[in-house]
Amino acid sequence: MTERDAAIAARFELAKSLAESAGAMALDYFNRRDTLVIETKRDLHDVVSIADQNVERFLRDRVEEAFGEDGFLGEEHGYHEGKSGFTWVVDPIDGTAPFVNGMPSWCVSIAVICDGAPVIGVISAPCHQEIYAAAKGQGATLNGVRLALDPKRNLQNALTGIGSNSYVTPQRVGAIIADLLSRGGNFIRNGSGALMLAYVASGRLVGYYEPRMRAWDCMAGFCLVTEAGGASLPFDVDGSNLFEGQPVLASNRSCFDELVEIHQTHDVAQG
């Protein structure tokens, strides 16, 4: 094992342990959500609770204790630049809107990036007692069971996850969904892009597409999908691009090209 492999392995073990602990912490908040103070951010659908803030603080503190020279980016408390070459990218509760409304479609998302790409991805879905885990070159698992995508699944015989937010116009989302339906596909949206990416890795969804997401929503999912045998659009994490919203597309290889066509057709940046 090389020094870099050993460094990834040590962080992978910590990420899995933290996902379990943070998931339990978040689930406790979920079970008493009526007592939480809820605030809005960009719009009335973009909410944050004390649970998000405290779970992220817990994760940041534990990472700092174990790997003090690593960088850390969290949705709620921002970015701390590291010196080790490893950066943790965390969404303490992805799917806060479902969370505060009593729905189980939320998760804790933990990723580690190095050399411009995620090398670790762990997603905990506490309401379902599921932990998805992947590290570069080690494959992906769900509760310890190896994941491998079925090449017989495609847009026509499976479900595709579609994400939306207030940065993307309703007209564009509608056109994307109409295009997917016209190809014989069908779609689902559960309010958590990270969890839907985990569902792609597990084969529950054949793909996931959202025109604009942030790194903390997708880095763990990208690692999971890649290690399960899928494909994804590049996501630039160099410099300030790490903080910018970018298109997110990850899928079974059986339908990747078709989903890229949908993306390119409705990508407003291309005119």
How does pLDDT run across 131-184, given as a tens digit for each residue?
999 999 999 999 999 999 999 999 999 999 999 988 899 999 999 999 999 999
Closest CA to 228 of 249, 211, 206: 206
Q: DSSP H helical segments within 67-103, as ranges? A: 96-100
Tens digit of each residue's pLDDT (9 = 90 or more) over 192-240: 999 999 999 999 999 999 999 999 999 999 999 999 999 999 999 999 9
98-126: average pLDDT: 96
Q: What's the CATH code of the domain at 70?
A: 3.30.540.10
Helix (H) or strand (E) holding 234: none
> How do strand 78-80 and strand 246-251 relate by DSSP bridges?
unpaired
Structural domain containing residue 83:
3-146
Give Cα 106 distance to the centre of its chain: 11
Which of 146, 174, 191 marks a domain boundary?
A: 146
| Number of domains forming the structure of the chain | 2
CATH number at residue 179: 3.40.190.80
Do 176 and 105 fall within a single domain?
Answer: no
The mean predicted confidence, pLDDT, of the chain is: 93
Q: Percent of the chain, pLDDT > 90?
A: 85
Q: Are residues 67 and 174 in the same domain?
A: no
What stretches of 38-154 show up as alpha helix (H) in DSSP? 50-66, 96-100
108 and 13 belong to one structural domain = yes
Same-domain check for residues 172 and 130: no
DSSP 159-216: EEEE---TTS-HHHHHHHHHHHHHTT-EEE--S-HHHHHHHHHHTSSSEEEEEEE-HH
The whole-model pTM stands at 0.94
Residue 227: HSE in the Cβ half-sphere, 13 Å Cα cutoff: 27
DSSP state of 254: T
89 in the same domain as 175: no
